Amino acid sequence: MSNLIRNNAIVPDEWTVVTLPVVEEAVRKQAGKVVLFKLTGEGAVTPQQVADTQIPASGKIIVPLTVWLARKSELTDRLAKGEVGVWLAPHETVETLADAEPDLNQFPIIGIHHERHADGRPYSMAFLLRTRYGFKNELRVFGDVLQDHLFFYKRCGFDSYLVRADRSAEDALASLNVFSTPYQGSVDENRPVWRRVNRG
């Protein structure tokens, strides 16, 4: 059973997310506490990881930003066929992708990996992609995706949600309609409620 929600339905997932080889990272501490989040803009991927990343020879794939930037030449033909998307980690910046690719809409899909639900950066990244950079195609969130967050993902511009494997996609789907009228303006409705309500 698929855990992908798109267009208010649970649908099969035709995209394969390509991941970087795992390397052991040093435990970082600040004030005696383990630091769980990478700093925005931090270079956390080694050239060896990029070189060792296994890319399937066929099918639709979403590759890490660092892999796209370094190995673009071997993926350009597949991009032209609509078979390649790119994904960003929370510590990476949308600006890095936009600076390298002036037309983001050449990608049929952009993904954002939400590593930990306590990290709010993916919401801002989605908002920037939709507003500042005008991305119109599928914008997917994957990783630590829980039903409590889907409504807020939607407000920020995501339209595709790969719910965590140990959670129910059916329950998550219902949460998209948990609020009827959001107060603030955002990507899905840019007017705040006081501009939408006729008090006359």
In a domain, residue 160? The reply is yes
114 touches 145 (CB < 8 A) = yes
The per-residue pLDDT for 143 is 95
What pTM value is reported for the model? 0.85
In a domain, residue 154? The reply is yes
The per-residue pLDDT for 47 is 86
Nearest-Å Rg of the Cα atoms of the chain is 18
State whether residue 139 is helix, strand or coil.
strand
Q: How wide is the angle at C-alpha 66 spanned by C-alphas 153 and 70, nearest 5°?
A: 145
Mind listing the pLDDT tens digit of every residue in the chain (200 residues)?
A: 789 999 889 999 999 999 998 766 666 666 666 555 566 766 778 889 899 999 999 999 999 999 999 999 999 999 999 999 999 999 999 999 999 998 999 999 999 999 888 788 999 999 999 999 999 999 999 999 998 888 889 989 999 999 999 998 998 888 777 766 655 655 666 666 545 566 66
Domain interval for residue 95 = 52-178
In a domain, residue 29? The reply is no
Tokens of 95: 């600006």
The per-residue pLDDT for 9 is 93
Our count of domains for the chain comes to 1
| CATH number of the structural domain spanning residue 112 | 3.20.20.70
